[in-house]
Structure 1
């Protein structure tokens, strides 16, 4: 694979690169005029299921164009957190399952069977499970991130928000291009596309992407490298317009990820492993460790010297119909998505076999959505829709505790899960006056969720099987929204909304035979109060948007712990009552034709209002130092404690271009700050950090190729995305150090 990418990189010097399609814009000024040249792009979005300016949408909404994704080196969903206020995307324990949190609302769970608190959509198709979203972002038109409860416009119901990925559509003229890069640790990446007419009224677009190399970590004992990527993806979009009123879009896509896993670092205290070896706290940024026992290697079908790895495959198709009926537009979407997860992680980060974990999951989802929406532009606009989905999640995981103190065995957890969801929803916009608009939406969702044949068993050295358990859960809940928008002027929109969102409950599918752990956790609900303003100044050279919110949170889903005398296990729980409050400010400014500045800052703070739960610190302190048993499990009133997410985040970019001789030069830097946060699973603080990236691009005048240099993590700062204490070792999942590379691109 690496030879293929290096060959492509060489070929690119003579050929091509896929430059992201520019976002649609409508500055309101004639092309070529000074105002048109300097005005900030007015991006057209479909956040409310109709095309409109992002500045005319009364929602907290951030849009990242395809150009922005390229300029900021955003290659996967985890990188989005560095460009969107109040957004965090972490992969817990270094695994391949992204976890999304918007304004402090998000689910942390390393199992694959529970749905995300933030709705993720690709071309209007929901990806309900976080692990399904780990693939490459390539050939993207834009990404729209909505903050706050959703459900009256989108297929699924969520409490946190929605991330909508819109890929580039087929073009009416022939276009082609590709890009390639090569950098630190032999990291290589290639993207390409071919688009254009195939026959009368029929267009198609084929997009390809691949990535390899980049192993920046090393084993503390052997020096062996870890972190090579081996990913490939393809997408075919075919668009057929048999009549002026009918538009049919087919989307076929495939992805494969055979990359190394992420290595963890030992943190907080020295760790005594099996056999008595004492591991000190890791200090080097790139250091890690792993190991696998012969029995476990044979069990999961890998070599006895295997590294942490992924072997994941995703594929799917969707068919979308848009039919203009005159009095309304009919939209119908049918989709099928499949994702197979095979992933080995070493969660004790040492050569000792304390906590090796192998996931195996087969996920299948089918969904159908039908919507009717009124023509745009009238005083009264409406939308009505129906959504239905069937989901299955089969599999589980194997665990290697063969050298863990007090355990000394191999375990396996297996289950099957079936989910059926049906929702009906509607939304209206009614202009009470030319300036004042009333907005209302309502949704009812019915869901059944069944966990079948859940079983945790000891495989070796002495087999032991716990009883097979099945659990069921159902939900029938209303959600909705009411709001007002007031247009102060053509360039200033104010809004206020009150909305209620709900998010499905689920099951804890961790290793355990304890009955209490298998009880389902219930759905959560959130009442959101929000007010904001969207504004443009100085002939639309400056956009300034602000929003403030207060969340009344009930039955918040949280990854907690369950203590017994002999150990501790993770368990998903519900917090009876909590609240979150905060605000965001976003600025996009073009003071000069060739200078663009973006800035955003987010603040959020939350507390538990009603929460009586285990006091992990006191319980650990009371543990018997000889037997390691928890003789006293301490509970306490946790009301008033801060919710575990960062208070502050700050993101921005500065881009400047100029001419030198016959060359155009573009310099861009983007940066992000994330405040410290408390890790409940490791009972420690994850420190705050800054991330700075930089790009320099050269474009010959009147040419359609470019060469560039990029640096990620320019200051070489150390940061962690998550922490955990799985058995005995406390570990952190580090982000990469400084890396750099060269990039070439071409477009026909």
Structure 2
């Protein structure tokens, strides 16, 4: 029960809060001798105060190299840039990475990632992302697990295009690698305290340093509270307060100069309010039959609505006046061992993550109980990867490894349709999913001449996926068992990549590649009236052709990277519908054939020592090549049952993706005496896109953010004034239609605040 859970977890929350207080106290009482030599938060972050485009060392290809040397479309965001670009959670990444979209269907707590138009829109918890998400090389396969991950971060690497050859998991869209800060050999620490609109309060801090000659440690904490920017249209009650706490501890042991052992553990708790939806059109509810209530379409970007019935509140263990909420908890650990043999390096990465999702959403956005949803999922993932790689000193290099993972996703969700004319019932959908994956992978690279090299790699995997004991049933007002099933499926697939790299000038190289990626199939775990809805959907396969150019010009002050791609897409996974005897239900289906093509350009320029300009522009377009989709159904007038389904040939139809996006930032460092003033602005544009779940077009948007940093003379302190959504734009993130109302999830209005940063 939510009330009891809140009481039971006060001890855990108190431990995190005490850790934060202890950390800040330690920082403020630290000896002043450390202030002058203090490292900044991110030693690898590109610095706007230098006259050159600073190199960031990345590990996107499982070895350390300059980001400019990677023969693939790659965007890197340094840890300091996260604050400057107002990136507070994974959803905000889309405003800084070309061709990336991140949104949460129905405004829920589960983000969906799409790169170059490749990605899904599933709201259930049992299906993995098309874009791989990793934290310190450990896969977080389910989107809901990625919240509260972006604190104490060294850098984020986003690889576009199919991955798998060098990664343990299969993906068709790309990979997002979050690299957190490692323990340091010198004592260092810092904190960032933020206060903003709607009483938003945030605190992040870290303390790092040696414990012995061979052992060092790092502790980082993050807490966020307040920020309720939404209001109930009927009662004026606030919605949107954050209540998040996270902690990460890391140990680094260096027993010899050739051996490195990293151990990390993490804990996160999210008891925030949920996101309220808005009515896109006037809505006639059915909660006071026969007339109901007429709700006008929402025009104020802050208003929303919600409600919960007595039965549903008792069912999920909360109050009858409960707001949409999250009560999520996650914890886990990662062990990474690396040993350098001279001729090769052996690396092992082993990890475990446990995540509990408890989340109540109101998807009709009114006081009427027509589409309330409560998720209760328990997720366990464990994985191990062992790889051996050459030392990279010769013309021939190689890497090979084995990967194994197990995943368990249990639970399901309840749906409250008691006041809906469509169903008028409370549904329960439960299941227990088990997944096992084993893969072998390898890659070789040969330098043919000083300027020309070729590489080729492959990955073969075997996966079994079982959905045990699926039950979809009506539990009120009368009990009805609607569907049961225990489907299984297995997959044997290969991925691969071949590339050619030509360095025709000292700081300019071009590449061409062809790659094949695979994303696992799965099961649609929605409310179901027929077992056929649980028929597995197939894996999707994507063959990608890509060419690119990477260049560093004008005495290392200008970087210009270009890429163009064509995707041959088979069995694309798409959220669609099928028809039961009396209604249509959602189901993830496969599109036999489609294609996507596009181009991207990224520019970083330091025209003067203190000015940094970053620009990114991308274009993409896609069409269905073969796709027969159910459109309507013919009903029997006597029984009301569907007796015939009419299909539409959607071949030649445009894929539901925005064709254009543009991201940019300008950062300027102005020295005034011994002080520094740092104005910065960042902005993003996304073209309109089609919403599958609502069958309408989501409008294009512009989003701008601004920051003004002030660093006093000879003090390890920085004060930043920030504005998010500078022009107070009305931004629609998603459009939805679940059972009754047409709703929209919107971006927060303009917010302002101040951040105090301290380092020693």
Q: TM-score, normalised by structure 2?
A: 0.94
What does residue 7 of structure 2 align with? Answer: none
| RMSD value, Cα | 2.5
Paired position in structure 2 for 1:689: 701
SS in 2 for 1:199: coil
- Post-superposition offset of 1:565: 5.3
**Correspondences of 1:55-74 after superposition (within 5 Å):** 55-74=68-87
1:676 to 684, 688, 703: 688
1:202-351 matched pairs, under 5 angstroms:
202-275=215-288, 276-351=292-367
SS in 2 for 1:468: strand
1:733 and 1:470 mapped to 2: Cα distance?
34
Distance 2:312 2:503 in 1: 64
Structure 1 Cα separation of the partners of residues 727 and 400 of structure 2: 50
Alignment of 1:126 with 2:100, yes or no, is no
Preserved contact between residue 19 and residue 177 of structure 1 (Cα < 8 Å)? no
State the alpha-carbon separation in 2 of the partners of residues 421 and 20 from structure 1. Answer: 41
State whether structure 2 residue 111 is matched by structure 1 residue 91. no
Structure 1, residues 75-122: CA drift from partner, whole Å, max 9, x if none?
A: 111000000000001011010001000000001100000111001000
**1:624 positional shift:** 11
Change (3 A) 1:15 1:294: farther
Is 1:15–1:746's contact at 8 Å kept on the other side of the alignment? no
1:568 Cα deviation from its structure 2 partner? 2.3
Query: 1:524, 1:696 → 2: CA distance?
Result: 46
Confirm whether residue 587 of structure 1 aligns to residue 583 of structure 2.
no
With 662-671 and 36-45 compared, the bigger mean Cα shift is at: 36-45
Larger mean CA deviation between 605-614 and 66-75 belongs to: 66-75
Query: Could you report, residue by residue, the CA deviation over 1:197-254 in whole angstroms, capped at 9, with x for unpaired residues?
Result: 0012000000000000000001110010100000000000100011111100001000
Post-superposition Cα deviations, 1:108-151, rounded to whole Å, max 9, x if no partner, equal 10000011100100000001111111124100000000000001
* Structure 1: distance between partners of 2:637 and 2:734: 28
Cα distance in 2, alignment partners of residues 670 and 467 from structure 1 = 50
> Residue 486 of structure 2: SS of its match in structure 1?
strand
Residue 198 to residue 15, structure 1, CA distance change in 2 (3 Å):
closer
1:19–1:179 contact (8 Å) kept in structure 2: no
- For 1:555, the equivalent position in structure 2 comes to 571
Structure 1 residues 15, 407: CA separation in 2 closer, same or farther (over 3 Å shift)? farther
- Tell whether the 8 Å contact from 2:163 to 2:170 is kept in structure 1 after alignment: yes
Q: What SS is found at the alignment partner of 1:634?
A: strand
8 Å contact 1:20–1:70 — kept in the other structure?
Answer: no
In the alignment, does 2:734 pair up with 1:722? yes
CA distance in 2, matches of 1:653, 1:407: 49
Paired residue secondary structure (1:79): helix
Where 1:263 maps in the other structure, the secondary structure is coil
Aligned-partner Cα distance in 2 for 1:367–1:13: 36
Map 1:297-446 to 2 at 5 A.
Answer: 297-446=313-462
1:89-238 aligned at under 5 Å gives the runs 89-238=102-251
Alpha-carbon separation, structure 2, partners of 1:532 and 1:432: 20
CA contact (8 A) 2:23 2:205 kept: no
Aligned length: 737
| 1:478 and 2:456 correspond | no
Which residue number corresponds to residue 32 of structure 1?
none
Counterpart of 1:578 in structure 2 is 594
Check conservation: 2:482, 2:530, Cα contact below 8 A: no
CA contact (8 A) 2:128 2:143 kept: yes
Structure 1 pair 140/722, CA: closer, same or farther in 2 (3 Å)? Answer: same
Distance 1:205 1:95, change over 3 A: same
Decide whether the 8 Å contact of 1:93 with 1:264 is kept in 2.
Answer: yes
Task: Measure the CA separation in 2 of the matches of 1:518 and 1:13.
Answer: 54
Match of 1:701 in 2: 713
3-state DSSP of counterpart to 1:48:
coil
Report the secondary structure of 2:487's partner residue. strand
Q: Report whether the alignment pairs 1:566 with 2:572.
A: no
**Map of 1:24 onto structure 2:** 44
**Equivalent pair of 1:20/1:141 in contact (CA under 8 Å):** no
Structure 1 counterpart of 2:523? 507
Equivalent pair of 1:566/1:629 in contact (CA under 8 Å):
yes
Contact 2:279 2:365 in 1 (8 A): yes
Q: Which residue of 1 aligns with 2:4?
A: none
Match in the other structure for 1:30: none
Q: Is the 8 A contact 2:277 2:746 kept in 1?
A: yes
CA distance in 2, matches of 1:189, 1:358: 28
- Matches of 1:4 and 1:735 in 2, distance apart? 29
TM-score normalised by structure 1 residue count: 0.95
Shift of 1:4: 7.3
For residue 657 of structure 1, what is the aligned residue in structure 2?
Answer: 669
Structure 1 unaligned residues grouped into runs of 5+: 28-34
In 2, the alpha carbon distance for the partners of 1:429 and 1:341 equals 43
2-structure distance, mates of 1:366, 1:264: 35
CA shift for structure 1 position 20: 6.2
Task: Compute the displacement of 1:468 (Å).
Answer: 2.9
Q: Deviation of residue 392 (structure 1)?
A: 0.3
Question: Match of 2:54?
Answer: 41
TM-superposed deviation, 1:575: 0.2
Cα distance in 1, alignment partners of residues 22 and 129 from structure 2: 37
3-state secondary structure, aligned to 1:38: coil
Residue 571 of structure 1 deviates from its aligned partner by 0.5
Residue 20 to residue 140, structure 1, CA distance change in 2 (3 Å) = farther
How far 1:625 moved relative to its partner? 13
| Structure 1 residue 7, shift from structure 2 partner | 9.2
* 1:138-196 alpha-carbon deviations (Å, 9 max, x no partner): 00000000000001111111100000000000000000110101010000100000000
Match of 2:10 in 1: none
Over 3 Å counting, the alpha-carbon distance change for 1:228 and 1:178 in structure 2 is same
Structure 1's 623 and 10: CA in aligned 2 closer, same or farther, altered over 3 A? farther
1:626 is displaced (CA, Å) by 13
- What's the CA shift for 1:513? 2.5
**2:468·2:487 contact (CA, 8 Å) conserved in 1?**
yes
SS in 1 for 2:273: coil
Distance verdict in 2 for CA 1:14–1:199, change over 3 Å: closer
Quote the residue 2:759 is aligned against: 747
